[in-house]
Amino acid sequence: MVDKKDSIWVLNGPNLNLLGLREPDIYGHETLDDIAEMLSERADALGLSIEMRQSNHEGHLIDWLHEAQGAGAKAVLLNAAAYTHTSIAIYDAILAITTPVIEVHLSNPETRESFRSVSWVGKAAHANISGLGAKSYLAALEAAASL
């Protein structure tokens, strides 16, 4: 059995429940379940466990960041989606915990609309991995494993 300290929490924000259907030319054809399966397989190989969650509600993401620290998570992979660019509350929540947070994005926000160039999550996160499609999550998991 894997220790709680060896868990990686993967928190996903608004509209990511629609992956595979929503703008596949930007976000790809993989669903969030596909990503969860891919992460679980890789986590097993690394001796880690995954706690995967998604919500369209900002407060849930904040509560889960706090909960991840309380549970002794090794790290959090956070795709805050559009909240990345708007949420000072998520920024504050990341700063309030000591658990490392790695910002994850399927697309590269820097190459998209100008409003996406501001990342409040990124200003507080330990690292940022974006632009690799679903593989952004795998790269973030590898980074978290090395912490």
pLDDT digits (tens, 9 = 90+) for 60-91: 999 999 999 999 999 999 999 999 999 999 99
Cβ-contact 103, 78 below 8 angstroms: yes
Q: Which amino acid is at 83?
A: Y
The domains of the chain are located at 4-145
Predicted local distance difference test score (pLDDT) of residue 27? 77
Q: Quick one: pLDDT at residue 119?
A: 87
3-state secondary structure of 8: strand
Residue ranges, the chain, pLDDT below 70: 1-5, 111-113, 115-116
- pLDDT score recorded for residue 2: 41
Rounded to whole angstroms, how far apart are CA atoms 86 and 83? 5
- The count of other CB atoms within 10 Å of the CB of residue 11 is 25
Q: What is the CA radius of gyration of the chain?
A: 14
Angle at 129 between CA 125 and CA 135, to 5 degrees: 140
- Kindly name the residue from 27, 83, 91, 137 that is annotated as catalytic: 27
pTM across the whole model: 0.91
SS (H, E, C) 75-140: EEEEECHHHHHCCHHHHHHHHHCCCCEEEEECCCHHHCCHHHHCCHHHHHCCEEEECCCCHHHHHH
Identify whether 27 is a catalytic site residue.
yes
Which of these is catalytic: 60, 105, 126, 137? 105
4-145 placed in CATH 3.30.565.10: no
